[in-house]
Structure 1
């Protein structure tokens, strides 16, 4: 299973605080029709932290059945409890996911040795590919390059979504782990930088709204084209989607584009009016909406 190129960190559409499966179907179709390489369910952008195990299980079952192998599905199964992460990872494999995205344990602040032990236990409990996820701004812990190298020796730990924002660290991971270890940008504004260093793609928030453009740019880069200008032109869009905490702006953007994704769940609130106004202006600039 190939997890290079563009993976979308998919939002979870809600209606009256329940998962809106009709809209989820529309979103999955949108990505299958627009060149997205794989879909990531139940990540940060999906508001997985506010979803019950019952909801998560139902969402995975629905997506696996609906997609029916037409696009690979990666599922976020990491928690700050190794035992719970193992249990959910095993369940997710059983339900038919193609791969797992496992975030560093948040709040506990384990040592680097603790991270190695945690990820090894999880990976060894399943047989499908595992992608590590380093996002210190959300978890309070950074996974160092040498730790990633140690984990890259585990046969089914195939890559990392690197969202530390530290390009020196990304370069060190690529250098240590070699070309077969999949390094993915976890920050939309650094996708091109990571590709230029020898990375393999991105797990993207922006891909929620421009999957065809992003997939095309990554493919063009990989066959030797200079796409600096095209990536630069996406700066305003990448910035506006993080004007508030993700996924607040991207959900608002999808709503404006006609996908009824609903409101984020508490403790997140809907986008502030002044920010929404700016968001609509940027969406108009990229011809993603014509109203506002």
Structure 2
């Protein structure tokens, strides 16, 4: 069900801070038309940290409606409260999502046994496939490979998004997890090599801006044409880096605004628009790539 280029979609907003559903529909169509394999709705890039539950659910609901079954939607449902994550997952599974992306609990700094218990409880409570999400640069907590291996045998836990960028973890994970467990990169810069070394897909920020190239790169790697995958990725390396010169999703939102796909570059406080130097940097790159005139 899940493979290839999966976009970690932004949540477009109006200057008032309200969600811009017209732009969201435009973005979803952009991905359907450009070969994106699935959408993660309201994950980190979708500003999940600042969307209250009712709004979070509504954005996912609208995203499912806008795809109209063309590609799967994975709902971001993580929380550092196990019960909150369960409750959110239960709401999402009734919306027609194809999966849940559940982040390692942040701030609490749970032990490995605590993380195992947390994810087992979430998986026990849902009928929708669960993908683990490890991003220690944001959560501080870091689930280790042995814990992931144990969780990989739960029938509802089908994969992990690994945003560490550490390819040695991938090599080790492949020897430990269940045979059908899916391995996704959450780090665009190392995503191509992740695929070439046995990964199944990339949950990508870059795909917000260059979905067709990301799709082509992922398809080439999946077919075993690693030379072509690396050649395509070379065209994306500077974009992978530039999108993170300020905290995500500050630069992706500005880029999509300049591309005319998001009506406004608005972010939820405490995030604000990029510095003028950053604006100039991304705009110059998009022009060099032929994305902007």
Tell me the residue number matched to 1:271.
274
Q: Deviations over 1:152-196 (max 9, x none)?
A: 010010000000122211221122115421100100011111112
Corresponding residue number in structure 2 for 1:209: 209
Q: Residues 42 and 76 of structure 2 are in contact (CA less than 8 Å); yes or no, is this contact kept in structure 1?
A: yes
User: How is 1:1-292 mapped onto 2 (pairs within 5 angstroms)?
Assistant: 2-15=1-14, 16-225=16-225, 226=227, 227-259=229-261, 260-290=263-293
SS of equivalent residue, structure 2 residue 94: helix
Unaligned runs of 5+ in 2: none
Q: 1:159 and 1:262 mapped to 2: Cα distance?
A: 32
Q: 1:207 to 1:261 in 2, by over 3 A?
A: farther
Shift of 1:104: 0.3
Q: Is contact 1:179–1:198 with CA below 8 Å preserved after alignment? A: no
- Return structure 1 stretches of 4+ with deviation > 4 angstroms: none
Give SS of 1:183's match.
strand
Instruction: Kindly indicate whether the alpha-carbon contact (under 8 Å) linking 2:213 and 2:232 is maintained by their aligned counterparts in 1.
Output: no
Gapped regions of structure 1 (runs ≥ 5): none
In 2, the alpha carbon distance for the partners of 1:252 and 1:140 equals 27
Q: TM-score, normalised by structure 1?
A: 0.97
